[in-house]
Amino acid sequence: MIQELDQDNLQNIISENDTVIVQYSATWCGNCRIMKPKFKKLSTENEGATFVIADAEKFPESRKLATVDNLPTFATFKNGEFKGQVQTNKFDVLKELVEEAI
């Protein structure tokens, strides 16, 4: 399952779920648009985690939970703690991050 944030509440989602994987993106980001369907595909293949898409520009508090200085950034959280991230437009790198998180 995948959630797209409609408010700046990523911290709540992280607190309520064991494993959370986040795509930080922006509407103007071409690589973000390319990676979004791939991220959604991974969410259907990995039911052990909650997948979230967060607009890094609209939701600054959510952005602060990871070091987001390039887009797209993918971050993992486990038991409420930040675990790691990658800034990539390569599916293999994203898939490896997801596999390590789950």
With H, G, I as helix, E, B as strand and everything else as coil, classify residue 12. helix
H/E stretch holding 100 = helix 91-101
- The domain limits of the chain are 2-101
pLDDT above 90 (res 1): no
**How many residues appear in the chain?**
102
* Catalytic entry in 32, 53, 71, 97: 32
* Catalytic entry in 20, 21, 22, 29: 29
Q: What is the pLDDT of residues 44-89, one digit of tens each?
A: 999 889 999 999 999 999 999 998 999 999 999 999 999 999 999 9
pTM of the full structure: 0.95
- Establish whether 32 is a catalytic residue: yes
- Establish whether 38 is a catalytic residue: no
Indicate the angle between helix axes 30-45 and 91-101, nearest 10 degrees: 40
Q: 2-101, what's its fold? A: Glutaredoxin (3.40.30)
Q: What is the pLDDT of residues 29-49, one digit of tens each?
A: 999 999 999 999 999 999 889
**Integer Cα distance of 97 and 83 in angstroms:** 10
Q: Write down the pLDDT at residue 4.
A: 96
- The tokens for 72 are 């797209």
